[in-house]
Amino acid sequence: MRLLPGQDLIETIEKFAEQKKIKAGWISTCAGSLTQYNIRFANQPEGSSDIGHYEIVSLTGTISANGSHLHISVSDSTGKTIGGHLLRGCKIYTTAEIVMLSSSTFQFNREKDGTTPWEELQIIEN
């Protein structure tokens, strides 16, 4: 898929997963740029955001109509790179070219399983 200027990165990916009824998907690769990022860094309760021009140097994670878990790394014009949990509010600058793979053999769900306080990945074989 290719995202256009101004689109929200995670909202567009999740909408695509819903429309295509993807039950078990993952990001293979992504190349693109942002004018704004919103990322939750490790062990932080809230996201951090900034406005500028950023290259997407990595996007990885799982996608499903039942929920997603994506991490992103972005770099600024000096090459300083930051990364963390992808949140809403990452706006596309020029493009985001995303290759997403999926499987019909499995289903990805997100549920609390008692090992952490969060909804974690549960893989179900169809």
Q: In the beta sheet, which residues pair with residue 48? A: 39
Six-digit token pair at 125? 């074989």
- Contact status, residue 58 vs residue 48, Cβ threshold 8 Å: no
- Predicted confidence at residue 111, as pLDDT, reads 94
- Predicted confidence at residue 70, as pLDDT, reads 98
Domain ranges in the chain are 2-125
Q: Which single residue is written with the structure tokens 């200027």? A: 5
pLDDT tens digit at each of 126 positions of the chain: 999 999 999 999 999 999 999 999 999 999 999 999 999 999 999 999 999 999 999 999 999 998 999 999 999 999 999 999 999 999 999 999 999 999 999 999 999 999 999 899 999 998
Distance CA 84, CA 81 (A): 11
Q: Given CATH 3.40.50.720, say whether it is the number of domain 2-125.
A: no
